[in-house]
Structure 1
């Protein structure tokens, strides 16, 4: 698996007016030519809502480019990349084909898939499609996050190359299905928790599911 990234984006929080309410968000990222990726994320990239974004286990956000076509067809609306606040867009790396713990080179850096993305209402507000968040959760087409194992420089022409796959049972999509739709599947959750590469925030959420 080797794919060229289609966009490289960073951004800072800004005030946005959505439906008459002012909110602070960094979803409106801009394309760049080159950037340094550190353990905490891209230099110059910031988050406003730390519940859903940021931190060493969510240092890089990827959104599969194929979903743009689906949402544009479904909602009869053009979406301007990056529409989902992602750092990188890539083809042929759908949630169903990428697994928790997958490790990739990206430019000079090495990154590892840590969790699926738990989307928030900002996605719907930013794109002015009220039902977009609901559809993302229903489908599991959330995109996903990486931790950084080795820091390095990334350019807009960099490629993602798979160098290690830890397991082949729990794709990002299967993890999303457990998170959003199959929360009482105790056996599957217990097995999912055995993946040591799973982000700690997801581990904590699934442990609470088991307790409840």
Structure 2
């Protein structure tokens, strides 16, 4: 089955005590929009990003989360989670986001995107959902969604196919990177094989491996 974009979501300005930046504003509340949206190297046009020290930037320009993974949380929490509810820009369908290989390239609409790294859950996410232990539960579930960099700017809209046009041979996946940094440190050596993984993550893996001797 060909993967596709189920929804394109843009963040609105949310002011709350749990918001991450110093001004108390967050862009985690993302809402589906109609029509094509411009995908730029810095992210989607019109998407509000609050705490830029930890969100946005070339390696985190676009965030994708799978509709199938969202369905697990709907059942787990027994409540509706609309598209954008994970703070994702792209809600995908029939795309193995957790199994996406670091560095693989997606043709989405007229844009070319590249998988870079998993999302790390934060207190802003827990506050947005109102689930105090969400960080722990999200970590154990280990379906974090994927950040993407923009290799070619373009436009994307709901219903556009998601086609994997290139996949590195190293095979290191979003799920492996997430588990290596949280639950399964024995996977850390694998991270050094993924050249397209952002250097701060690779350097952290080197330091942890060196400390273990």
Partner of 2:70: 68
Is the CA contact (8 Å cut-off) linking 2:98 and 2:146 kept in structure 1? no
In structure 2, C-alpha distance between the alignment counterparts of 1:36 and 1:59, rounded to whole Å: 12
Is the CA contact (8 Å cut-off) linking 1:63 and 1:144 kept in structure 2? yes
Partner of 2:99: 97
Question: Aligned to 2:172, what secondary structure does the other structure show?
Answer: coil
Higher mean alpha-carbon deviation, 28-37 vs 102-111, is at 28-37
Aligned 1:39-78 pairs, distance under 5 A? 39-78=41-80
Partner of 2:154: 152
Aligned 1:23-172 pairs, distance under 5 A? 23-32=24-33, 33-167=35-169, 169-172=171-174
Query: Residues 35-57 of structure 1: CA distance to partner in whole angstroms, max 9, x if unpaired?
Result: 11111111111321234321001
Partner of 2:207: 208
Q: 1:68 to 1:178 in 2, by over 3 A?
A: same
Q: TM-score, normalised by structure 2?
A: 0.88
Q: 1:50 to 1:210 in 2, by over 3 A?
A: farther
In structure 1, C-alpha distance between the alignment counterparts of 2:203 and 2:55, rounded to whole Å: 16
Is the CA contact (8 Å cut-off) linking 2:142 and 2:179 kept in structure 1? yes
- State the aligned residue count: 207
Deviation of 1:12 (Å): 4.0
The answer for unaligned runs of 5 or more in structure 1 is none
Deviation of 1:203 (Å): 2.0
In structure 2, C-alpha distance between the alignment counterparts of 1:112 and 1:165, rounded to whole Å: 10
Q: TM-score, normalised by structure 1?
A: 0.88
In structure 2, C-alpha distance between the alignment counterparts of 1:102 and 1:199, rounded to whole Å: 14
In structure 1, C-alpha distance between the alignment counterparts of 2:189 and 2:84, rounded to whole Å: 35
Deviation of 1:9 (Å): 0.9
Q: 1:208 to 1:13 in 2, by over 3 A?
A: farther
CA RMSD of aligned residues (A): 2.1
In structure 2, C-alpha distance between the alignment counterparts of 1:163 and 1:202, rounded to whole Å: 25
Question: Aligned to 2:122, what secondary structure does the other structure show?
Answer: coil
Q: 1:209 to 1:50 in 2, by over 3 A?
A: farther
